[in-house]
Amino acid sequence: MKTQILVHGVQYQPWNVDGKNGVSSFLFIDAIGDVKKGFAGRVPKEVRATDELAQRLFNLTPTPFPCVCEVEFDMSSTRKGVEMLYTHCDPVAKVK
pTM of the model: 0.86
- By C-alpha distance, which of 83, 6, 89 is closest to 42? 6
What pLDDT shows up at residue 75? 92
Q: Evaluate if residue 78 carries a pLDDT over 80.
A: yes
What pLDDT shows up at residue 55? 96
Q: Evaluate if residue 1 carries a pLDDT over 80.
A: no
Give the dihedral sign, CA 32/12/50/77: negative
As a whole number, the mean pLDDT across the chain is: 93
- What distances in angstroms separate CA 43 from CA 17, 30, 79, 88, one per listed residue? 30, 6, 27, 21
What pLDDT shows up at residue 80? 87
pLDDT band at 26, cuts 50/70/90?
Answer: very high
What pLDDT shows up at residue 58? 95
